[in-house]
Structure formats: structure tokens, C-alpha cells
């Protein structure tokens, strides 16, 4: 056996490259006894694994594979005996925790070490650096540099893998954004289609699915109150016709507010959509600036005051009457009327809170032009809309931004391709009252061209014996228990309310 382990001419080579092993008859006999012993163990355990590792370089290459380590630990854990032939102090014996006999004998099983060459033990590994000879230091530094290079190699591999992973993540995020954009476009287009379908089918659904027991009748305002005297839960539904007497044009018709053009677009169902807002939010804001300016030149009328008086009566005599005011108008006139009469409940109206845009006694199912919110929904807070810019150029380009995320702010007004929600438009509250409590309905100045308003009227008519009092010079109720007052709400509504309060006051 060659015992010269560290030759002078091999200083620059890896220290383990010089090992040479020649088996003597005694060694072979001893190894044969070991194999016989483990043959017996194989018969007892059903499994026998033998690793004979005689060179450190081979040992080092094998032990650096993670899969090999996992298999070896598994074998030792389940009690499979493993024998390793090695030299005393051979470097691979300390390369992995499982190769330490003293520290891991109980945890992983056991190793049987067979020392073949006592004279080949590299004793300098147990010496402090100060006690090493120059040759030993050179060999020590060679191994140290190999470890550094191996660490650098692994770090480089990790960085390359991270770079590949980063590219994959960026691609996934881009694909996710594209899917989200396509979904938003689909939702927008689908919302428009559904709203148009709901309006176009309203007469068909009514005539085909309901057998009415009444026909619409035209009456005076005083007579209309007679139909409501026995109703205890009355919903009041108002539309643009109520505010027409205040000077705000109706949204539809030859003189309607919808006839204006913005950036060459005249169709309001195109201007006030999420799709248009995504492409150019300044168009929608121009429309709202003009509406706010118009609203400031007007004020609530006698019709708004009459509704307030009916609500006030119901609060004072809740056993006789309960009312729910639902408006499609975005002009804030109902709230102004309540505030002018100093009857508004003290609620938190702090700007930058989730209930800042709402008044308890008014359900504004299409929102309110005076408020705005973050279009990206970074929060549920509402803020006052900005004052309309005076300069024409600034008005065409000024779009307010969210204070928290700096995205575009959206006016708190329902667009044509939006859906009703409880959070923004109180639709659930309206539906619950309609289905569970309503026994009388007053409809004022609406063409029933929006899905919720049409649904309220049609569901009420489907109750057969619930009167629907419509105040409208151009009535929309064509079937069922309709009580039609073809007069202006400015004069007829105060008359109806006054007469109804008189009738209700006489009841016990």
C-alpha cells in the first residue's frame, strides 16, 4: 500500500488525488467477514445497502448531490445498516451531518467505520493554522479556495434561477392585467346590454306574466289621495320631472340636458359609461361640471317640500304611515329641502368617510353629483366634487385624483353600464322594502327608462291590489292598478299630500 499521501510535486493538486489503495490478504479477509455479517442482516431486515467509498474525490462528488443525501438519510432512519470503508480523518467524513458518528448515531442509525491505513491520516487538519507547516497551509488554502469557488458557483446558479423566476413572475402579472382588462370590458359591454334588454322587455314581461284585476284610471289630485288613505307603507319614487319645475331640464326629450355634445360625442349612453371613462375621464367630468353649474342656479320647488311634509308626518305618526323616499335624481334637492327645514338627523358627515355621500331619509339610487370617490376603489371614502373650473381649457382637462392612491376620481353618479349595489346605490334596501312592506306607490316625473325604477313599478303592479299613483303629464303606467294624475307635480303633489295627511290624521 502506498503510504506517501502528500508528495512535494502535488502541492498544487487536490490533497486527495494521491491516495492509492492495495488490499492485503488480511484486509480482504476482514472485509469478507463484514460482508458475511451484513448478509445475515439482509436476511433479517429484508434490505442491505453497502457503500464502499475509497477515494475522497468520488466521495465528495457523490455527497454533494441532494438526492443522494435524502436517500441515505431515509435508509439510516428506517434502520437499514450501511457500511462505509474510509480512512481515519478522511475529509468526506465531516462534509455532512449524517457522517458524524458521535453526533448522529441515535438519530440516523449507525455507521461502521473500517480504518484501513492508519499512516495515511492527514493530521494537520486537527492543527491550528499557526502550527501548520508551509505544505500543510498550502493544502489547507487549496481546499479553502475550492470551497469559496463552490459557494460562488452555487450563488451564481441561485441568481440565474431568480432571474428566470423574475421573468416568469413579470409575465404572469402582465397576463393577469390583460385578463383583468378584458374582464372589465366584458362587464361594461354586458352591463349595457342587460340594461337595454330590461327596458325593452318591460311591457312584454308585464303583459305576458300578469293578469291584472284593474285598469289604469285618470283622476284629480284630491281623488288620488283617496286611493292611498288605507296604505301604511308608501314608497315615493321621483325622477327628473320633479326637478324640471326648478329649472333643471329633463334628461330626455328635445329640450333635455342629454342633447349637449362633449368632444364630439352626443349620445349620453356613450358619454356616461365606464368604457368611455376608462378611455377619457375628462369627458364625463366636463358633463358633471356643467350639471353642477346648472344645479347652482336652481333650487328645490313645492313638490320637494310636499314630499318632505309627508315624510315629516310619517315620522310623527309612525303607526299611521311609513314612507321611503327613492330618487333617481342626482341634484341633491331632496337633501337640501330636509336641511332647509332643519330636520336632518345628526349623522357623521365628515368628508373622507364611507357615509359622507348619504342622507338617511333619502335613497339616491343613481348617486349624487356633489360627491366623488376613487375609481380604483382603494377605499370606500367619499369626498366633495371639485368646484367647476371657470377657464374653458382647464374645464376640459381637469380630472381630480385620489389623495391616497393618485388614481382618477369618479363622480358618485351611476353610469349606464354600471350595476346597482347596496354599498353605492342602496339597491338592496329598496328591494327589501318593495318586496316585504310596500302597499302603496307614488311615482313622480319618471319615464321608467332605468331598470330599477321600472322594476319598482312593475313589481308593485304585479301585487294587483296595490295602487300606483303616477303624477306625470306623459304617464308611463299602461296596465294594472294605475291611478294617473296628468298634472304638473309642482301643483298636484302638494294637493295630494295635503289631502292624504288630512285623511290619515282622522284615522285612529
Catalytic residues: 366
Q: Do residues 465 and 451 lie in contact, with contact meaning Cβ atoms separated by under 8 Å?
A: no
3-state helix, strand, coil in the chain (%, to 5): 50, 15, 35
Using CB atoms within 10 A of its CB, is residue 89 exposed (0-12), middle (13-18) or buried (19+)?
middle
- Confirm whether residue 402 is marked as ligand binding: yes
DSSP state, residue 199 = H
Rg of the chain in Å (alpha carbons) = 44
Angstrom CA distances, 492 to 53, 125, 347, 462, stand at 106, 108, 33, 26
Closest among 4, 333, 240, 14 to 142, alpha carbons compared: 14
Determine the 3-state secondary structure of 22 from DSSP.
coil
DSSP 120-181: G--GGGGS-GGG--HHHHHHHHHHHHHHHHHHHHHHHHHHHHHHHHHHHHHHHHHHHHHHHH
Cell of 151: 459557494
Buried b (16+ CB within 10 A) or exposed e, 10-35: eeeeebbeebeeeeeeebeeebeeee
Phi, psi (5° rounding) for residue 419? -110, 150
The four Cα atoms 424, 430, 432, 438 give a dihedral, to 10 degrees, of: 170
- Confirm whether residue 59 is marked as ligand binding: no
Can you tell me the distance from the alpha carbon of 278 to that of 475, in angstroms, rounded to the nearest whole number?
37
- Confirm whether residue 231 is marked as ligand binding: no
All residues at 6 or more sequence positions from 238 whose CB lies less than 8 Å from its CB, including other chains:
307, 325, 326, 327, 328, 329, 334, 444, 445, 446
Can you tell me the distance from the alpha carbon of 71 to that of 75, in angstroms, rounded to the nearest whole number?
6
Q: In what order do the strands lie in the sheet with 322-327?
A: 217-218, 482-485, 468-471, 440-444, 233-238, 322-327, 363-364
- Confirm whether residue 374 is marked as ligand binding: yes
Cell of 362: 333619502
Q: What is the number of helices (H) and of strands (E) in the chain? A: 18, 13
Q: Do residues 139 and 15 lie in contact, with contact meaning Cβ atoms separated by under 8 Å?
A: yes
Phi, psi (5° rounding) for residue 20? -135, 135
Q: In what order do the strands lie in the sheet with 111-115?
A: 49-51, 82-86, 111-115
Can you tell me the distance from the alpha carbon of 251 to that of 294, in angstroms, rounded to the nearest whole number?
13
Can you tell me the distance from the alpha carbon of 378 to that of 360, in angstroms, rounded to the nearest whole number?
25
Annotated binding site for Zn(2+): which residue ranges?
A: 374, 378, 402, 405
Annotated binding site: which residue ranges?
A: 374, 378, 402, 405
Amino acid at each position: 500500500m502506498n503510504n506517501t499521501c502528500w508528495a512535494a510535486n502535488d502541492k498544487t493538486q487536490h490533497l486527495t488525488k494521491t491516495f492509492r489503495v492495495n488490499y492485503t490478504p488480511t484486509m480482504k479477509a476482514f472485509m469478507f467477514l463484514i460482508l458475511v455479517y451484513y448478509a445475515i442482516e439482509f436476511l433479517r431486515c429484508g434490505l442491505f445497502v453497502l457503500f464502499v467509498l475509497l477515494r475522497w474525490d468520488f466521495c465528495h462528488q457523490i455527497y454533494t448531490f441532494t438526492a443522494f443525501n435524502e436517500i441515505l438519510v431515509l435508509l439510516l432512519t428506517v434502520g437499514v445498516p450501511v457500511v462505509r470503508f474510509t480512512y481515519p480523518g478522511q475529509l468526506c467524513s465531516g462534509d455532512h451531518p449524517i457522517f458524524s458518528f458521535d453526533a448522529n448515531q441515535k438519530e440516523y442509525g449507525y455507521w461502521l467505520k473500517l480504518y484501513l491505513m492508519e499512516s495515511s491520516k492527514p493530521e494537520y487538519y486537527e492543527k491550528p493554522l499557526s502550527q501548520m507547516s508551509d505544505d500543510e497551509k498550502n493544502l489547507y488554502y487549496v481546499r479553502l479556495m475550492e470551497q469559496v469557488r463552490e459557494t460562488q458557483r452555487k450563488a451564481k446558479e441561485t441568481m440565474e434561477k431568480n432571474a428566470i423566476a423574475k421573468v416568469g413572475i413579470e409575465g404572469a402579472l402582465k397576463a393577469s392585467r390583460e385578463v383583468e382588462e378584458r374582464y372589465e370590458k366584458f362587464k361594461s359591454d354586458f352591463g349595457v346590454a342587460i340594461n337595454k334588454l330590461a327596458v325593452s322587455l318591460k311591457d312584454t314581461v308585464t303583459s305576458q306574466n300578469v293578469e291584472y284585476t284593474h285598469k289604469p284610471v285618470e283622476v284629480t289630485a284630491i281623488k288620488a289621495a283617496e286611493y292611498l288613505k288605507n296604505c301604511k307603507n308608501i314608497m315615493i319614487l321621483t325622477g327628473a320631472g320633479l326637478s324640471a319645475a326648478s329649472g333643471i331640464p329633463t334628461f330626455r326629450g328635445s329640450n333635455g340636458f342629454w342633447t349637449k355634445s362633449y368632444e364630439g360625442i352626443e349620445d349620453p349612453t356613450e358619454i356616461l359609461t365606464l368604457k368611455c371613462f376608462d378611455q377619457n375621464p375628462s369627458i364625463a367630468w366636463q358633463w358633471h361640471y356643467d350639471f353642477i353649474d346648472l344645479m347652482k342656479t336652481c333650487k328645490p320647488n313645492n313638490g320637494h317640500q310636499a314630499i318632505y311634509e309627508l315624510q315629516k308626518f310619517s315620522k310623527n305618526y309612525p303607526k299611521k304611515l311609513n314612507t321611503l323616499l327613492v330618487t333617481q335624481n342626482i341634484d341633491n334637492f331632496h337633501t337640501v329641502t330636509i336641511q332647509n327645514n332643519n330636520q336632518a338627523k345628526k349623522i357623521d358627515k365628515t368628508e373622507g368617510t364611507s357615509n359622507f355621500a348619504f342622507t338617511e331619509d333619502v335613497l339616491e339610487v343613481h348617486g349624487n353629483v356633489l360627491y366623488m370617490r376613487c375609481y380604483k376603489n382603494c377605499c370606500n371614502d367619499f369626498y366633495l366634487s371639485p368646484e367647476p373650473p371657470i377657464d374653458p381649457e382647464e374645464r376640459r382637462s381637469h380630472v381630480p385624483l385620489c389623495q391616497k392612491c393618485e388614481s382618477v376620481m369618479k363622480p358618485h353618479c351611476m353610469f349606464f353600464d354600471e350595476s346597482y349595489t347596496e354599498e353605492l346605490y342602496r339597491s338592496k334596501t329598496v328591494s327589501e322594502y318593495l318586496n316585504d312592506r310596500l302597499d302603496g306607490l307614488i311615482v313622480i316625473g319618471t319615464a321608467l327608462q332605468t331598470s330599477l325604477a321600472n322594476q319598482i313599478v312593475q313589481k308593485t303592479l304585479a301585487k294587483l291590489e296595490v295602487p300606483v299613483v303616477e303624477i306625470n303629464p306623459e304617464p308611463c303606467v299602461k296596465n294594472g292598478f294605475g291611478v294617473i294624475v296628468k298634472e304638473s307635480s309642482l301643483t298636484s303633489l302638494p294637493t295630494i299630500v295635503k289631502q292624504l295627511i288630512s285623511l290619515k290624521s282622522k284615522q285612529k
